[in-house]
Chain A
Amino acid sequence: MLAPEKIWWKPLGRMEKTWLTVAFVWCVFLTLMMPLWYFMGKQNVPTETYRTTSTDFAAKVNAFVEQYKVGEDTINGITLPVVEAPAGGDVYLRASTWQWYPILQLRKGEEYRLHISSLDLQHGFSLQPVNINLQVLPGYDYVATIVPTSTGEFTIVCNEFCSLGHHTMIGKIIVKEK
């Protein structure tokens, strides 16, 4: 609160030097972890993105459902198609207020190119209890290349506020053994 002495440019004390060095080394470590994981880790944030429009994306989703539909299931009382695409292929997931469409069926250990986009507002793709969370924007076709490592029924929660029915926006991914 008070003005410093006339000359305050003084060398650092021993303890300040020690802490500054240790803290700096820690910061360098924090920085290195990200590229290290990028090249060696198996969980990285997808970056593949394409421009799209709601009509284009909706058409792709419909074609995908028509081609690979294997059954039906209900969420919140609404009947939705269950769709299983061949391993290694493209699968589509559409977000719109307040629905994830369709229900996806995947095989454990297989790789899929999961396309996610929104037809209207911003949504949040939150796969539970796996706990993978991605932002979903209208106009952006976001491609996540995923390999399910566990089997069972997984819930997709919307975790970006998308007006009043937001909490009812629930989807499903079913993972079966190969």
Chain B
Amino acid sequence: MAALAPTTPWTSSAKDDYRVCGVTTLKVDMHTERLIIANAVMAVVCLVLGGIAALLIALTRWQAIHLLDATWFYRLLTLHGIDMLVAWIVFFEMAGLHFGSTALLNARHAAPKLAWTGFGMMMVGGLMANFVVLLDPQSTVAFTAYVPLKAHPLFYLSYILFAVGALITVITFFINIVVAKREKRFEGSMPLAVFGLMTAAILATYTLLEGAIAIVPAFLWSLGVFPNYDPGIYRNFFWGFGHPAQQVNLAAMVSIWYMLAQMTVGIRPLNEKFSRFAFILYLFFINLGSAHHLLVDPGLSFAWKAVNTSYAMYLAVLGSMMHAFSIPAAMEVALRAKGYNKGLFGWLRNGPWNEPGFSALVMSMILFGWIGGVTGVTIGTEQINMLVHNTLRLPGHFHATVVGGTTLAFMGFTYYVIPLIFRKELKLKKWAVWQPYVYGVGSALVSLGMITSGLQGVARRNWDITFAGVVPGTVNLTLAVFGIGAIIAVIGGIMYVTIVLTSILTGPRKEAEGLLLVSGTNNPLLDSTKLTDHQMEDKQNQPKGTLVLVFAFLVWFAVYYLSNWWLLGRTWFIK
């Protein structure tokens, strides 16, 4: 492995404003540190706003409670979508991009002013969106703001500000990498995690540009500059932004999975070529997935929909299935090399289950893959989508990916950012041990409750389904599961915010002493450099258990997928 502490000096032109992390021996530019803190704080603020909305709307959909009136339900639903699906996630990703393009490359931040400009625009845009939705009744248009439903012009302007700000931040990521390379901060290839973040940044670039193509005309239309805006065209461009935005999450989350696995178990990627190729598959094919939202739209041909919805040939799905093997396999090899070699799953039993980064990683991978991934591919199938479009099965799918998957991984990662970047001791460690489980179980129930309700035809974004009058009795049960799950997840969210706030607001500044938070004093990051080729290739250490797990996953995938075709075959004939 490459040396952990390269001795390259900073260029003389750069201000000598960095510190060396005592735990990771990485150099951290103080600009980077402040940018990460600012973005992370905004991320948590948006998470809190979106979380309050989440609780209230979930308690409204839980038919037995039915808390809010229709006006507030739809208003907070709009707010929830914006704060969670966009603001919380993107702010966190921007923090990740600053981290990946400087600290992980031992490089300086080459464009701090530009980065602050981007952050400022995002902050204004994000807060403005919240204010507009809360204060202007006309702007209750849901997160998608489907034309010709017309919001206040400031609503669109806030989207534009946020997106341009994010685009500027993404540009600083590329500037940092080019400068780092030119100044020879790192030799050879960049680390896998940075490679993954770069995939996310490239995806983000064209995602945000497509967002501009969708929203800028909508802004002009709301001002009366254009009389009409074709709803089909808007949908096409909007999802060119909306869906890939979630793929940015995916690439960022997988990068964080690799990081968490290295930080908590000390993995060495089994094969860099394999993992990098999987990221490249995302890069080329994942954007086609935008078509998933248009599968039952008028005006599009079967061929167009089938090619796009299958990501050419499910090649982006192949990428995810490759990561689904390579990350647990690397964990298995690392743990087996430590001597946890008993049987197929002895390594797994002996994982550091009380380490929040590890439990968040495992929960996130299970929820993302077994629930989110499988349901996503299934409902994204052209014909099957007819059974699913705009029912609760849809949010059921993306709450597994974005909440159980991405958000949980980001939460787990935060616990390490606190000592390493905020340089504060992590407080409430016992809570931190439990938080990923609470949040994971809660979001799993949310997803399952939504999916099973949707299977019975319950519509999404609907204040009161009893108007339909044909709802089967079991819907009350599945909606209750969803509501109880939401309460548990919100408790997990409150635990997370409390841990974070208590840690950063109380106690003195303290340099981190170790990498692991609760499960030991060793440094898995350094251990990973000591994994020899011999250990990696040793017959004893091969990931047999992971192979069994991924085949079990494939069986579950096939069962779920094929049973949906069976369901489709029972409905009315239609063409």
Q: Which residues of A contact B (CB under 8 A)?
A: 1-6, 8-10, 12-13, 15-16, 18-20, 22-24, 26-28, 30-31, 33-35, 37-38, 41-47, 49, 76, 111, 120-122, 124, 126-142, 144-150, 154-155, 157-168, 170
Contacts and interface: CB of A to CB of B under 8 A. Distances in A.
24 contacts: A1-B104, A4-B188, A5-B2, A13-B542, A15-B547, A23-B322, A26-B558, A33-B565, A34-B306, A34-B310, A41-B569, A45-B574, A121-B146, A121-B149, A122-B146, A122-B147, A122-B231, A135-B389, A137-B235, A140-B298, A149-B571, A150-B572, A163-B140, A164-B71
Nearest to A30: B314
Q: Which 3 A-B pairs have the closest CB atoms?
A: A159-B459, A27-B314, A142-B298
A43 B386 contact: yes
A107 B186 CA distance: 72
Contact of B262 (A2, A24, A41, A49): A2
A38 B461 CA distance: 30
Interface in B203-230: 230
Nearest to A28: B313
Contacts of A76: 467
B318 interface: yes
Residue of B259, B387, B390, B391 with highest tally of chain A CB at under 10 A: B390
Nearest to A37: B383
B464 interface: yes
A52 to B, nearest CB: 10
B149 A4 contact: no
Nearest to B231: A137
A138 B568 CA distance: 27
Nearest to A109: B573
A27 B317 contact: yes
B559 interface: no
B469 A170 contact: yes
A1 B525 contact: yes
Contact of B188 (A6, A19, A44): A6
A144 B329 CA distance: 48
Interface stretch (B170-178, B190-198, B398-406): B190-198
B270 A13 contact: yes
Given A19-B325, A120-B148, A134-B389, A45 B571 contact: no
Nearest to A6: B188
Contact of A1 (B191, B274, B305, B468): B191
Nearest to A134: B296
A147 B572 contact: yes
B543 interface: yes
Contact of A43 (B299, B325, B383): B383
Contacts of A20: 274, 322
B465 interface: yes
A12 to B, nearest CB: 6
Given A33-B381, A128-B468, A3 B188 contact: yes
Contact of B387 (A16, A47, A132, A154): A132
Contact of A137 (B104, B192, B298, B551): B298
A79 B230 CA distance: 33
A38 B557 CA distance: 22
A150 B570 CA distance: 10
A157 B468 contact: yes
Contacts of B485: none
The range of chain B's interface size is: 35 or more
Nearest to B558: A26
Given A26-B314, A133-B388, A157-B465, 15 more contacts: A3-B189, A4-B269, A8-B189, A10-B273, A20-B322, A45-B383, A46-B298, A132-B386, A134-B296, A139-B230, A139-B232, A149-B572, A163-B140, A167-B464, A170-B468
Contacts of A10: 271-273
Interface string B507-544: 00000000000000000010011000000000000111
A106 to B, nearest CB: 10
Contacts of B387: 131-133
Contacts of B190: 3
Interface in B291-316: 294-302, 305-306, 309-310, 313-315
B271 A168 contact: no
B569 A42 contact: yes
Given A16-B271, A128-B468, A23 B149 contact: no
Contacts of B141: 161, 163
Contacts of B298: 46, 49, 135-137, 140-142
Contacts of A145: 574-575
B470 interface: yes
Residue of B381, B457, B460 with highest tally of chain A CB at under 10 A: B457
B568 A163 contact: no
A122 B325 CA distance: 42
A149 B231 CA distance: 32
A116 B459 CA distance: 19
Contacts of A133: 296, 385-391
B574 A144 contact: yes
A37 B382 CA distance: 10
Nearest to A23: B321
A13 B314 contact: no
B574 A135 contact: no
A165 B462 CA distance: 10
Interface string B251-292: 000000011001100000111111000000000000000000
Contacts of A122: 146-149, 231
B273 A12 contact: yes
B187 interface: yes
A1 B456 CA distance: 45
B326 interface: yes
Given A19-B550, A27-B313, A27-B318, A167 B467 contact: yes
Residue of A1, A20, A137 with highest tally of chain B CB at under 10 A: A1
A42 B573 contact: yes
Contacts of A18: 547
A166 B573 contact: no
B463 interface: yes
Given A3-B190, A23-B318, A164-B74, A132 B574 contact: yes
B306 A35 contact: yes
A132 to B, nearest CB: 6
B318 A24 contact: yes
